[in-house]
Each structure stands twice: as structure tokens, then as C-alpha cells.
Amino acid sequence: MQEQMERLPASLTLKRFHAESTPMTKPTADHAEASPTKQFFVSMRTRDINLADAILDLLDNCLDGALRLANGNSVDYALHFVKIELTADRFSIEDNCGGIPREVAKNYAFKMGREPDDDRDSDTETIGMYGVGMKRAIFKMGREALVRTRYGDDTFEVPITSAWLNAKGWEPLPINEPTEAREKLAEPGTVIHVHELYEGVSRHFANEAFENEVRTAISEHFTMFLQLGLKVELNGKPVEPVLVEVLVSKRDDGPAPFVFQKTIDDVLVSITVGLNTARSLGTDNEDDADFEGDRSSATAGWTVLCNDRAVIVGDKSRLTGWGDGIPLYHPQFAIITGIIEFRSKRADKLPVTTTKRALDTSSNVWLESLVKMKEGMRVWISYTNQWKNHPRADQSNYWEDARPLPLKAAIAAVVSRDAVRKTGDQVEFNPQKARVLPEPPGKTPSSRRIVFSRPIEEIRLVSKMLFDVDDEKPGIIGEKCFELTLTKAKKRDG
């Protein structure tokens, strides 16, 4: 029998196997549960995000509200505010960004995940895609919360209680009407209060160092919105943006950053790499007069934006290409800043994870963009190598008309130049190929850098003698001393 089966075609053998091993069954009323438990969702989903990122997620929701309120038009962020309070016993975030429509609250906003028919943001450049941000942030902090919102003239509130969290089922949350006048919001927006904070969360919120961490994260992650006028307060103090900019000369033949722009997989990719303003040429107070130093700029390296949100700021690791076909980051490169932005109305196309503060480096749009990022970096690595043994003051004349510009303004200032290459939807400008970068005067292979230190009192004495002021830059003093000595040496040998 076994031999006969082996002679049968494989397809007939499989049919016979299934016929013998699969009994005929009748439909029954029984069913197998496949829904997640509430405890699993609350405990596991909140582990995917740290506390600071959870707060940023809630601020992100405020901005999404402002975008929806604009209904496809440009948003005037100067009209909007977000106020955040962290204390040992409560958390709150308040905005005037339009609020939540009642139908959205009933059908979408409080669900644990996004339904396929939820197309509210199909024409909006947000970065939310999974529908878990607000709930995950609340569950991360505490066991009691109240979401109060006003959309138009309709004000209502949704409580999330510890009793609901402890219950096994996913019962609908109640939508209540405010009972007192003080509970009504002055303008359309949303307020979220979280109470019964977890012990670890309470300790963080009472810690000034954590408050500073959150302030820095907001200033970086939302820098573009803050620069556009959005007002964000943390514990009553305004948050200032971290400026990520590159230098651009006003002259068409003046030095400018590397620029690249192209649409890849429905995502508009914009790249610029250039010199930053943190170590402004010829205008700083550093002791050494060249590019090498131990004070690295906070915005040196790469800043990655997704729909105006800064996913990472000042990255100097292999993540953004350093040490991968180009040198590892070094203090010599502290004047190099790269900015890349991904824009799309399809949030799922963006190379960003659910925390919105980490990159999905396996995405095709990221891998293709990384090639151009490295190309831009090579231009400026070569530039700093050329100038590293020369006083920075020698460059100041070339850059005196340059001004610091953010990504969009920098690209706009460069694309009008004749040397820009345009092919279809691709725009590219390489300052090295365009020959607009200054070269060191008298560049010779035998050039060497002279570095030495002297007591500050002695430096001031020499400064007073040479320049009639006692606070001239040490680099300029040293250069002048060398020139005077060199002149005497030439006269003696002549």
C-alpha cells in the first residue's frame, strides 16, 4: 500500500491525505476568542515609548488638530498655543487647536488603533498612522484621566477611570456634558488631565532634570513649528526652538550648501549640507584659529525631519552615514550640518517608527536618500581637510555676506543659481563642482599648524603691546607674533 501511494502523483497523494485526516464537521455555536486583553495592551504598548516621547506624542496631536482646522489651507501657527504642566501629582496639556468633533470621539479617537475607514488625514501632512498615541501616552502616565474638548460650540468630556482599566472588557467610554460653567473651554481646543500617576512617573515629573529633558526635546522635535510662531509653554515658561541652519552666500558665485531634492515613493525628499552658524567663521571667540577643537556644535551632524517634525537632531553616528564609506565624526567636522526632510500626505510612507523619534532605516526612501546624504558630506569633509591648517580668519572675506538659513529657505536661495542641475522632478547643486567654495591661499603640501599655550596674563600683556587692547583673540596674537619674527628672520638672512 505504501509503495502504491509513493507511485501516485503528489497532488493525488495530498488529496488522499486530507480526505483521511480531516473529518467532516458541522458548524457549531462555539468560537475561539482572538481579541487582546486590556491588561496586555496597557502594559505592553506603553513599553514601546519612553515618558518624554509620550508627552511629545500628545503635543503632536495638538498640531494635527491645527492642520485639520485649517482644512487644507496653510496654518498660521502664531494663532495657536500648547500649555503643558508636570507636577508630582498630575499632568495636563491644553491647546487651542480646534478640538475633537463629537462624531470622531464616538467612532475613532478613543479606539485602540486605527480603523481602515478612518481617512481623516488623507490630505494632511501628519506623521501619525496607528491611532495609539493619545491612549498610549495616558496609560503610560497614570490610571485616571479626563479628556475635555470643544469643537465649534460643542463641549464634552471623556473620562478614563481605573475601574475601566481594571475591567476585563473593552466597554465604550462615556461621553459626558460639562456640568459647570468653569468646565467649558474659552475657545475650540482640548485639555487632557492625568491623575493617579504611577510612582516612577510622579518622581520624574517632580525632577527638574526631567523637565529640562522634556524642554530640550520639544525645542528640537518641534523647532519648525516654534519658528513659525507656535507658542509652547512648559510649567509656565516658553520653549525656544533649536535653530538648525546652514550658511548661504547672497552672491550667485558665493559659497553655498550642497542641495538635493527629489520625490521618491510618493515622498518629497529635500537635503542640504553646509556649514552651520554655531562656529561662525572669523567671528567666534575660540582660542584656536582653525577648524579643530573640542567644542562640537549641538546641531552639527544630521537633523532628520518628517513633515516638519525633527525625528533626530545633530546625529553624528553610523545611523546617518558617519563612518560608513566616509570618516567617523570628528571635532574637525563640528562646523558641518546636514538637514534632510521627508514630506508626504501618506504617513505610512515616511521612514519613522511609532514613537516618531526614531528612524525606520530599512525603508527604501531612507536607503536611497542616504546615498545623497553621503555625497553632500564628502563635499564638506574635503573642504575642512583643505582648511584645517589655516587660520579661520583667512576665510572670513569669502563668507562675510553669508546668512544662516533653515532647510526650505536655503534650498530656495540656491535653486535659482545657474549651476543648479534640474532633471524632471530632481534638483541638485554641488558647490564643489560649481567651484564656488574658497580655497586656502598659498596652499602647499608643506604647510604646518603651530599650536602652543601660554598663561592668560602673558597673552594679555602681548595683546596690549601689539594691539593696544588686552583682549585680542589668542589666534590673532600668535599669528602677529609669527609675522613679526618672520620679518626679522628674512631681514637677517637677506
The string of DSSP codes covering 144-161 is: EEEEEEEETTEEEEEEE-
Give the pLDDT confidence score for residue 439 in this predicted structure: 85
Point out the least confidently predicted range of 122-131, 256-265, 407-416. 122-131
Please list the residues that pair with 86 across neighbouring strands.
91
pLDDT band at 290 (very low <50, low <70, confident <90, very high): very low
pLDDT band at 200 (very low <50, low <70, confident <90, very high): very high
Question: How far is 239 from 230, CA to CA, in rounded Å?
Answer: 10
Amino acid present at 305:
L
Phi-psi sector, 46: left (phi>0), alpha (psi -120 to 50), beta: alpha
Q: Are strands 336-343 and 301-306 parallel, antiparallel or unpaired?
A: parallel
* CA 241 to chain centroid: 12
Query: What is each CA distance from 413 to 228, 244, 315, 436, 447, in whole angstroms?
Result: 19, 16, 25, 15, 35
Question: How far is 377 from 381, CA to CA, in rounded Å?
Answer: 6
Which cell goes with 323? 563612518
Give the pLDDT confidence score for residue 370 in this predicted structure: 96
pLDDT band at 288 (very low <50, low <70, confident <90, very high): very low
Strand blocks (E) in 371-410? 402-405
| Coil, helix or strand at residue 333 | helix
Q: Is the pLDDT of residue 227 over 70?
A: yes
428 close to 376: Cβ distance less than 8 angstroms: no
Q: Which residues contact 260 (CB under 8 A, 6 or more apart)?
A: 269, 270, 271, 272, 372, 375, 376, 426, 427, 428, 429
429 close to 420: Cβ distance less than 8 angstroms: yes
Name the residue with cell 480603523. Answer: 115
Which is more confident, 236 or 285? 236
pLDDT digits (tens, 9 = 90+) for 31-54: 787 776 767 666 666 676 789 999
Query: What is each CA distance from 22 to 1, 32, 346, in whole angstroms?
Result: 20, 19, 45
Q: Is the pLDDT of residue 299 over 80?
A: yes
Question: How far is 289 from 395, CA to CA, in rounded Å?
Answer: 11
- DSSP symbol at 379: H
Q: Is the pLDDT of residue 121 over 60?
A: no
pLDDT digits (tens, 9 = 90+) for 345-401: 888 889 987 667 788 889 999 999 999 999 999 999 999 888 877 766 677 778 888
Q: Evaluate the CA torsion angle 59, 63, 65, 66 in order and state its sign.
A: positive
Exposed (0-12), middle (13-18) or buried (19+): which is 371, by Cβ within 10 Å? exposed
Name the residue with cell 558641518. Answer: 336
Phi-psi sector, 72: left (phi>0), alpha (psi -120 to 50), beta: left
| Coil, helix or strand at residue 36 | coil
Give the pLDDT confidence score for residue 5 in this predicted structure: 46
| Coil, helix or strand at residue 323 | coil
What the chain holds in terms of domains, given with CATH numbers, is: 40-238 (3.30.565.10), 246-429 (3.30.230), 456-493 (no CATH)
Helix (H) or strand (E) holding 227: helix 223-227
Mean pLDDT of the 271-292 span: 56
Phi, psi of 209 (to 5 degrees): -65, -40
